[in-house]
Structure 1
């Protein structure tokens, strides 16, 4: 193979050059039986550029490497060198004719790569050589947005000085100012606003940078944007809990039941953020406590669902007293979902409130509404995916998620420690399978039947066949016979 002969014949090559080359060559060992020199050189060449090995890059260029060639991963040398901060390699590649707008496998230009990694001098070099400062990816992202997202303030300043467009937006209508607001970096925000960014620009859903900041609880950013002329609305006032602003807006004619582009009403925003005084104001002004969020894929959540998410027992109590349908004894299906949601979210005070209002502590989790609310309101809570289809109890939910204080409350309120789901599993079995040692201890201490079997003849021991929980169950005399679901057989 020509290239291998070339590398081995150069006895004078130092170790720092040979070692990277040999490391790269192992990646293409599969090609030895049918060598394709051009492809091999491209792979070595791009790898050398990525690693900043200037000597190897020079040698390969001398051997005929294509400065704009791609490897099997569709990478090119210039974007790789720019991304990894190898300025001398970048300079050499540009001198040798590298296409300055060459994109990598992610469709990023060298300038975007350098901005995303914060390589200020490479950014300066590329701009000096004529790189398109406002080039966009397929999604509409630019070099400026890359620098903003990573909060490289000096890179941002340089790009703004060189004319980066502060009005650019992604395909979904997200303006650069909104991205800056989400970072919480007020220095970057001021820099962008100083260049004329529209502080009141809105995305395709009608949200502004101020609204995004309020939703993310960026109070310092909210203050800054308002000081720079950002206009509030009733949804934003509800998010921030600004009662005086809400009163002013309502007096000026704001609709308390209006729905924004995300399907939210002001009352939902206030409930979600736990602003009790704002909730009272909106309700007094005619806000609908039973309003449902407009959505496409789920059975749409209501205000009370977001109140649970916010975790304020005061707000939940307020909503409990608004209308017959909002009372747990009304027979409404949604009320059967509230207690499981509160447990799944770990809202201890709300659980106490709901139990005190007469919700059945032994209700099963099984409705479509419950499944939808668990998905919508738990925000990534990792619970067993069979919730909603097999009659899991509240106690089971508390135990598998490690909410032991809530489990104690449920037991004290009369929860059946040996209640079974549709598969015949008990809370002890589920806690064992989930590896919740403290929950297992709690259940055993409260009379859980350690030798109870499910529909398939499994005891709790079959769900955890080794480790501390296994030892604890054996100490309680659990039957060690039978097949094992997790780990080694129970006898071992």
Structure 2
């Protein structure tokens, strides 16, 4: 059967798959190519599949046939986006030379610069920067290219070094294109006039991004940002400074965060800064269970106010003894008491640390520490009938625990 005898619909389907091959064939027959050129020019030729795989020859052919450098793919993303995110530097350069828009965001995908930055393709980032891209452009999450680089740097480092080392898909990079998140960061920071770029609807800065993305693996990132005059006391939408984000209660917290905290403190971070709830970094560290003792010790060594009060009247000691059952960190409680925490401080509801220890069924070791430092077993919180720690304990056990 002759190919031309096939139904038009089937011919169109075949051509949709073989358009570049057809163009290559036509180029060998000058008259046919000239006749068909205008028809080819009017077609919506999708560059994205060839930009994704880095087929420079086919992209070149389609561009010569009049393909639109900015035509979005059938899924999402411009041709430049697909070339950048997959690390095809020569294709990126070709598209830019043909006038591809560098600030073109299709269907809420990343901008091409963000796409290259999140993969650490610093040579592509430099190429796009040379064309005068807007470094402050944000995606729909309020992230800039700098944010994308930092967030994915932490994630990549975690997968590379941690228990998820077998996730080759995330770790895969185009072997023909050099990549380095640190070099990408340096390029972006050297091109930025003002480091503290933030989204008005979701305020955060590059430092916040670093400390929310595997902070124990971001020591070099934080150091680089601070050297580029990032403010160590800048606040996010919750009023939290970078120190507040080093939270031992978060999943995946690592004691190496203490080194990052020290770096921030040595660059002027305010140890007494309060967030929108009145919590200081010491409040957050003291409220942890098994992982917060080293960072608590660091804050106390930097003269954090051990009796700072949050907006509910809690000092750090209140939070340290409020862990359920045996999860309270005795090391932290002892550190606070040795540093002068007021053992009978009262919250806005009148509760002392002993009240809260009883409420949370603390281990006997907690009570012994509080008694040792003068905890008042009979301090009233003003509640009717069960106003003292002793009466609360009797209500739970039928008998009051007396201090030794």
TM-score range (shorter-chain normalised) is 0.5 to 0.7
1:181 and 2:211 equivalent?
Answer: yes
Instruction: Provide the residue aligned with 1:220 in structure 2.
Output: 259
Separation of aligned partners in 1, 2:312 and 2:61: 64
SS in 2 for 1:284: coil
SS of equivalent residue, structure 2 residue 224 = helix
Q: 1:250 to 1:150 in 2, by over 3 A?
A: closer
Identify which of 220, 223, 236 aligns with 2:281. Answer: 236
Indicate how the Cα distance of structure 1 residues 202 and 8 shifts in structure 2: closer, same or farther if over 3 A, else same: closer
1:438-457 residue pairs with structure 2 within 5 A?
none
Structure 2 residue 206 is matched with structure 1 residue 167 = no
Residues 243/219 of structure 1: CA separation in 2 closer, same or farther (3 Å cut): closer
What is the match of residue 404 of structure 1? none
- 1:100–1:141 Cα change, 3 Å: same
**2:284 corresponds to 1:284:** no
Supply the RMSD in Å over aligned alpha carbons: 3.8
Q: Following superposition of structure 1 onto structure 2, how do residues 103-182 of structure 1 map, counting pairs within 5 Å?
A: 103-151=105-153, 152-163=181-192, 165-170=194-199, 171-182=201-212
1:73-84 alignment runs, 5 A limit: 73-84=75-86
Give structure 2 stretches of 5+ with no counterpart: 1-11, 27-41, 154-180, 273-278, 286-294, 378-387
Q: Between the two structures, name the one with larger relative contact order (CA 8 Å, sep ≥ 6).
A: 2
Q: Could you tell me how far 1:69 is from its partner in structure 2?
A: 0.8
Structure 1's 97 and 222: CA in aligned 2 closer, same or farther, altered over 3 A?
Answer: same
**What is the rounded CA distance, in whole Å, between the counterparts of 2:367 and 2:147 in structure 1?**
40
Instruction: State how far apart, in whole Å, the 2-side matches of 1:53 and 1:159 are.
Output: 28
- Equivalence for 1:245: 300
Of 316, 327, 349, the residue aligned with 1:266 is: 316
Measured against aligned partners, the alpha-carbon deviations of 1:210-239 in whole angstroms (never above 9, x if no partner) come to: 121254551001111111111102732341
Q: Distance in 2 between matches of 1:313 and 1:213?
A: 30
Rate the CA distance shift 1:77–1:307 in 2: closer, same or farther, 3 A.
Answer: farther
Question: Is 1:256 the counterpart of 2:309 in the alignment?
Answer: yes
Residue 201 of structure 1: how far off its partner (Å)? 1.2
2:235 maps to 202
In structure 1, runs of 5+ residues without a counterpart are 14-36, 293-301, 333-356, 358-492
Q: Against the structure 1 CA distance between its residues 180 and 305, is the aligned structure 2 distance closer, same or farther, given a 3 Å change threshold?
A: farther
From 45, 66, 69, the counterpart of 2:68: 66
- Aligned counterpart, 1:414: none
Could you tell me how far 1:99 is from its partner in structure 2? Answer: 0.7
Return the offset for 1:173.
Answer: 2.2
CA distance in 2 between counterparts of 1:121 and 1:47 reads: 22
Q: 1:212 to 1:95 in 2, by over 3 A?
A: same
Deviation of the 1:241 alpha carbon? 2.4
Residues 212 and 307 (structure 1 numbering): CA distance in 2 closer, same or farther, change over 3 Å?
farther
Cα pair distance change 1:208/1:326, threshold 3 Å: farther
- 1:467 aligns with none
Tell me if 1:101 matches 2:103.
yes
